Amino acid sequence: MKLEILFEDNHLIAINKRCGDIVQGDKTGDSPIGDEIKIYLKEKYHKPGNVFLGVTHRLDRPTSGVLLFARTSKSLSRMNELFKNEGEIRKTYWAVVDVKPDPVEATLEHWLVRNEKQNKSFAYRQEQKESKKASLTYRYIASSDRFHLLEIELHTGRHHQIRAQLATIGLHIKGDLKYGFPRSNKDGGIHLHARTIRFVHPVTLEPVTITAPVPNDPVWNFFEQL
């Protein structure tokens, strides 16, 4: 499958990340998606030498959706500042879960502890040693015969935040074995999708909204057509 470019200018480039793509190199030795983008930029603009590409944020390997990179060091440093300041960048996710939430809309606040060995985060109601505060707001959108679609707005960006916080209240994302769903998806991904990112462009100062189409599978297709 070739790259799906969602946004591109002289400063930034955004793609629709596929399930299974990795953002940064890990112990698997697989090539990060940035390598593919660098080849694309090098060929499109006939660039000699190395192509600069800065990682502005991350998505978990089994997650799909909007992934934004910086094309210059200036835009990378400015995007890093935006990501540090709460509210400057608005990220909306879609998640397909196994249980309809009650209430149908709520803000969740937990303290997350990351376990490096298990590559998993655990959510607690009270502050723990070495924990980080995590906050999100979810809103129920629709149901199919077996699954339920939530829209989620992140207020913080923690390791496996959505997956851990939803699991703590008894909602499991389709395909997410690590956080309690009983079966994996065929492609090894999970039904968590970075749907939209909104921010003020760090160079042009224009408002930017980037939306990623969902992966092509029967469950996502059902919800996207509603």
Q: What residues pair up with 197 in beta bridges, in sequence order?
A: 91, 210
Sort residue 205 into left (φ over 0), alpha (ψ -120 to 50) or beta. left
Give the pLDDT of residue 27. 74
pLDDT band at 29 (very low <50, low <70, confident <90, very high): confident
Residue 36's SS3 state is helix
pLDDT band at 86 (very low <50, low <70, confident <90, very high): confident
pLDDT digits (tens, 9 = 90+) for 144-199: 999 999 999 999 999 999 999 999 999 999 999 999 999 999 999 999 999 999 99
* Paired tokens of 24: 């940064």
The predicted model scores a pTM of 0.96
* Paired tokens of 98: 């196994």
For the chain, what's the residue count? Answer: 226
pLDDT band at 36 (very low <50, low <70, confident <90, very high): very high
Domains and CATH numbers, the chain: 5-224 (3.30.2350.10)
pLDDT band at 225 (very low <50, low <70, confident <90, very high): confident
**Residue 166 to residues 97, 173, 202: CA-CA distances in angstroms?**
9, 8, 32
